Amino acid sequence: MPKMKTHKGTAKRVHVTGSGKLRVRYMNPKRLKRSKEKKLHAIRRLGAADPSVVRTLGKNLPYSRAAR
C-alpha cells in the first residue's frame, strides 16, 4: 500500500497540539485592523478548530496525532 500524503495547505494552516487537538488561526485578521489593538491581539492567537471540521482536517494530516 502506498504512503499517504499530507495535504500541505492544511499543514501550513493548522497546528496540532501535543494532546492531538487542532488549533487554527482566525481568518482574515487584517479586516478588523481599525478596531482596538486588544481585539486584534486576541484574533491573532490560535483558536480551537470547529468540531465539524476536525475529522476532515485529521484526514488531511494522516501522520499527525489528530488523525488517530
What pLDDT digit, counting tens, does each position of 39-57 carry? 666 666 778 888 888 889 9
Domain ranges of the chain: 8-67
Q: What CATH number labels 8-67?
A: 4.10.410
What pLDDT digit, counting tens, does each position of 26-43 carry? 766 666 666 666 666 666
Predicted confidence band at 3 (pLDDT cuts at 50, 70, 90)?
A: very high
Q: What is the pLDDT of residue 7?
A: 94
Rounded average pLDDT over 5-11: 92
Q: Are strands 46-48 and 22-25 parallel, antiparallel or unpaired?
A: antiparallel
Nearest-angstrom CA–CA distance, 57 and 13: 10
| Percent above pLDDT 70 for the chain | 72
Q: What is the mean pLDDT of the chain?
A: 81
